Structure 1
């Protein structure tokens, strides 16, 4: 439950980019009053790993945004990216959020077999992308 609260509040602050007292209170209210999943909870380790990935994705997003501005990206492709095993709906959402948070990639579809369909832009035609 605490893991869900921290995850929801972190996502709220990333989406709003506002740390005013009113926004903090709204974020806490949303994190508390949204219904919690009735299925088995994610392991706390997975949630903290996800929060760590979010914190690392922030500077990566800025770097990619400047790269898009300064150098043309003329190649694009649809790639299939493998999801980690044992992903609950909350962790699938976190994966999709992380992939889409960076400017060069957008998740188009999640395939239930454990794959994300990702639209990718790049400067080079080879379009290789490291795992997220």
Structure 2
């Protein structure tokens, strides 16, 4: 049996993955409807409990969620990032380096943007950065 803290931590990870996932999910009924499309029917009440942190899905449902949301199953279930993502993206991920002239120019352009546009760019970067949080780099 999972403790309430584990359920609440799962709920935080699920909400984060949903926020950055393939479809915008805002309600438990939307989550249940999308989950039903995966062939693993759940009720809106069950989805509400997952999002509220009062219950956690069974391992098979966590596995289905992880595949659908394109996150590591271990990260979604336990918060552990030790799985290497299945090869679907270019291996062009580099170690941190000094910013190039083009990167500095990009930062300068961002600084000149109105706050609303800067926020859009930040949200996009946040969405892409989830990848580094939920998958171990090769």
TM-score, length of structure 2 as denominator length: 0.24
The structure whose residues are more often helix, as a share, is: 2
TM-score, length of structure 1 as denominator length: 0.25
> Highest Rg: 1 or 2?
2
The structure whose residues are more often strand, as a share, is: 1
